[in-house]
Amino acid sequence: MSSPTLVLDYSAISDVGRVRKDNQDSGYAGPWLLSVCDGVGGAARGDIASGTAVQQLRRLDEQPPGELAPDDLVGQVAGALHRAHDRIGELVDEDPALNGTSTTATVLLFDGHRVAVGHVGDSRAYLYRDGRISQLTSDHTFVQSLIDEGRITEAEARVHPHRNLILKALDGIHEAEPDLFLVELEAGDRLFLCSDGACGVLDDARLADILSSGTPDYAAVELVRASLEAGSSDNVTCIVADVLDETGAAQRADELAALEPLLVGAAAELRRRVPRGTRSPSLFRGHRSGDTGELEPVLAEIPEGLPPDAHAIPSDPIDPEAARYALRPPARFAWLRWVMVAAVVGGLVWIAAAAAWSWSQQQYFVSEEEGVVYIYRGVNTELPGASLYEPYERTNVDLDRLTELQADNVRQGMSAGSLDGARQIIENLVAAMEDETADSGTDSGTGEAGAEPGADASSSPATAGAR
């Protein structure tokens, strides 16, 4: 290629957030590869799916052997995604408890001039160029399909009740069919990858504002902080990479020389132990006028008041899984919390029951009792020890005057919705009886029914007894 070789200066950060207990995001940033995976599965361990995918994808982080054809670069990404997919399937086969786990995957493979993009799910990749941000990937979600059809807007999608419904993911079972394409890069570009914990709460304008300044380290930290302050309830993973030409690379030579691949989130092994009695679910303690966030300190000595085993880095570190499921002392006044929860739940149940009863008393249906057609108020349903309906209005229509089909319908109950609707059903039954009587009178006039000729259809007992 005619353009000079480009270089990436990158940073990555993943935070468990302020709501979730576990981080199911995984990320990787290296000189030739950027990737974000967001695990799905809850009890099925989405962290295992995302970590497994990243461990497979990171094998792509090698300098390409010379200039690659576009198809070859894209083919490498496709092959790595399929290997990650197969490996997740193997884990599910080995442990059926993992059935249902899956992960999104957004991958950018760099060759010095361009990136091959592979994408499955709702993690995203953006390109910030010349002050403008553009979304490179398209979400494989239900709400994105509604946006594409013009049925909802991007803003409405952020609060849609089914915004988390993913249509594609790496799960080891269904072929994911990833989106694959190339993006040519220019010096000065900034690449941004994130899980939906960030792009789900920050719009393009806010993302562009943060990406417009600072180093990749600064931008990554601020993007995570802004996501949490915007109310993100999910794990948040952000990767930012600057595209540098030879001049830019020379200016950051010392930083680039010290730069190493970064593995973050569930894929990284956390060896730091938090002292007993403390909790550090998030890297961030809150915004303080440009503060770039603080890590919980690693203790060099045991402060007064802490137990003897409170060293942050013991010689025999605790097993992470044992720590995850270890018993914790009950919080003070735990009983009061349960009382409040019970009161709230009881109040909601009472409100729901009252609303349901009020609604049922506005419903009507037509049925029969002892051979007479009635209009009932309520819902044509019975609960053990309770009836949800009562007779409201007796009609003059006898069941034996109806046709067999009409009588069966009445016995089963004919839903009307409103009182006017119920009365309309009665009028329809009466009209049908009149038509039947008229037909009988016509037949008797020709001697087919055995009745007296000239009988008046209006004197039929069916109409005489109807309202």
Q: Output the DSSP codes for 156-179.
A: HHTT-TTTT-BS--B-SSS----E
Structural domains of the chain sorted by starting position, each given as residue range(s) with its CATH number in brackets: 7-265 (3.60.40.10), 364-465 (no CATH)
Q: What is the pLDDT of residue 245?
A: 94
Q: Cβ(77)–Cβ(144) under 8 Å?
A: no
> Consecutive 10-residue runs of the chain (467 residues): their mean pLDDT?
77 93 94 96 80 96 85 95 95 90 96 96 97 96 91 87 88 91 97 96 96 96 96 95 94 91 83 38 43 35 42 40 46 72 90 83 86 86 76 86 85 84 86 75 48 39 37
Q: Cβ(156)–Cβ(134) under 8 Å?
A: no
CB count, 10 Å around CB of 151? 10
Coil, strand, or helix at residue 200?
coil
Determine the residue type at 90: E
Residues in contact with 189: Cβ distance below 8 Å, sequence separation at least 6, in sequence order: 127, 128, 129, 242, 243
∠ CA 431-434-438, nearest 5°, is 140
Q: Cβ(228)–Cβ(18) under 8 Å?
A: yes
CA distances from 441 to 141, 159, 431, 453 (A): 66, 66, 15, 8
pTM: 0.60
Coil, strand, or helix at residue 440?
helix
Determine the residue type at 56: Q
